[in-house]
A and B are shown apart, each in its own frame.
Chain A
């Protein structure tokens, strides 16, 4: 033990001894224990406490309540306190009197009030902040107006915040409508209803503020609403609801516009950027360049710049196509394709003609044109070879290729079945399978034999080259192949059907 601790213990011991001594002295001064108390004193024990209890019982509290009215006189709120034992219970009459005194004449909920009194009186519980009367709000008057259809309102772009990945390209700010779509429905006038305070005062009704839409260009007003008069983009300008049959985009097709699907024509001042998709039922005018975007055009396609596909772009047009140049892209059209500067490593299909400008060059890739190909120059000394296919309908060809692929699958399956049958010749299930496979092959063959009559549509199709064509260029006219053996200038390639070969003659303008 340290010296400090030792000193502390001594001090404590001394203090304790002193205290015990004082207690002993006090006991001596009292001179007696409880049993020694006089009898009279003993008899009066507890009487004082009982008297206090009796007095407390005599101070009972009645049930009481407090009512207050809101500033706008639309609600009366009450606090209800239970009576103490022996106290007067709360009574409905008293509350009624108080309500009357406060001028509450309307909107009292007697059921709630009765329940509160019951709780207070029998369960001895306080009921606080209870709405016992409520006023009625006025119902605003709604004037007759047009309201945008819910479907159209919901067209506005929204993003799912929970989504793990959001493709912002799929978010478009345009609202596309079709002819005959109801754009806005007529909301009839609705009368207003007066409100009332709990003190019985009538409250005037307001008139609801609504947007007064009016029918505009390319819309039609009918009994029940405003309808689109043509396909197009919905536009609301100064409350005028209208349909634009041509969609104008002042910039690029990018994250501002999202992917575009439009039933009319499309004009784009800028470019179609990588990865976006444009599907238009009408024609497209692109004043910039189409990059690695996928485009479907139901009409004509005009591109002031080129199509720079980066090996990813797929452009399909139902009508004619006019572009500055084609590079590393896939282009398909039912109409004539005119590419001023030519095509570089591109795959092109057309049911009409493919043409370039006077200095146009086609290098690499494949050009398939049913009606004819007119090019200034084909290939360069070191470039990959170019393929030019003429005379056939490429869509029929595709169908035939699809049938071929299916037929190959069926044929291979049939070979397996035949082998199995050779091991188990009486297996009826295998025989049935073989018959079914044969039947499918037969059906596909019938279709292909019909289609073959529509494959070659233009035996007169010509490949005309104003400038030069390099050796190695592959030419095919109505299935007959030809490979250019040497550098040729200003030549036309045509099919000599009688001889069954492709022949060459000096270039002539057809």
Chain B
């Protein structure tokens, strides 16, 4: 009889522990690779500088001495080592494979004549193919005494063009 009670007590205790573990088990973190969704949309970026940009004399490599550089992560969207005149619109077309959600553009522009002490700006606009208004507009500033203008522009990219706009009948 004692042996039977002891066995039942042992089974009850073991089962209680198993049930406790099952109930309190924490969800395991998903350590798998993070999937990045790519937008099927095509974008256009326009940049206008308020100053003449020239080759960067302090660049690490002379062949990379850019007057204007626009990057998306490690991807160079636009790069030029020649002079870019103030007011000249730089249009970067057919920008695709953006990440769905937040994207970050990086811009660097070097004043051709840093001895002109005036504040400098770069206007950046991001357009999607289905909208006439920009989806992002930003003005980057550099102080009058800065020898380089640089900054980031953050904007959101949708997964695809909204269907309602694709199926939109202009005659309506």
Q: Are A and B co-members of a single complex?
A: no
Which residues of A approach B to under 8 Å, CB–CB? Answer: none
